[in-house]
């Protein structure tokens, strides 16, 4: 997922919003998930892309899948 946001927003705050919203939507659609105490772990990974274009990043990510 690529996000473009103002530097005033913290990565942890953004992830908290994304995980909270997706958890709510998924639990509404799949009732059996409501029995779980937590849907997501507290972990996440954030990195900057610098001057790399999104296509170069996508190719890099795809190449990581082919290592196994």
Residue 38, domain member (yes or no): yes
Q: Is position 67 within any domain?
A: no
Q: Which residue has 């992830």 as its token pair?
A: 15
Res. 20: pLDDT tops 70: yes
Considering the chain, what is the average pLDDT of its residues?
Answer: 85
CA triple 65-18-28, angle to 5 deg: 100
Q: What is the pLDDT of residues 21-46, one digit of tens each?
A: 999 999 999 999 999 999 998 888 88
Whether the predicted pLDDT of 68 surpasses 50: no
**Greater model confidence, 51 or 27:** 27
Predicted TM-score (pTM) of this structure: 0.66
Q: How many domains does the chain have?
A: 1
Q: H helices of the chain, where?
A: 11-29, 54-65
Q: Is residue 29 part of a domain?
A: yes
Angle at 13 between CA 29 and CA 58, to 5 degrees: 75
Task: Look at residue 65 and tell me if it is in a domain.
Answer: no
Q: What is the mean pLDDT of residues 44-51?
A: 79
20: containing domain: 9-47
**Rounded to an integer, what distance in angstroms lies between the CA atom of residue 51 and that of residue 45?**
19
Handedness of CA 50, 60, 18, 36 (dihedral sign): negative
Quick check: is 1 in a domain?
no
């Amino acid at each position: 997922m690529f996000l473009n946001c103002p530097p005033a927003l913290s990565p942890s705050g953004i992830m908290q919003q994304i995980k909270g919203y997706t958890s709510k939507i998924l639990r509404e659609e799949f009732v059996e998930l409501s029995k779980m105490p937590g849907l997501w772990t507290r972990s996440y990974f954030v990195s900057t892309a610098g001057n790399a274009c999104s296509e170069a990043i996508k190719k890099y990510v795809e190449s990581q899948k082919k290592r196994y």
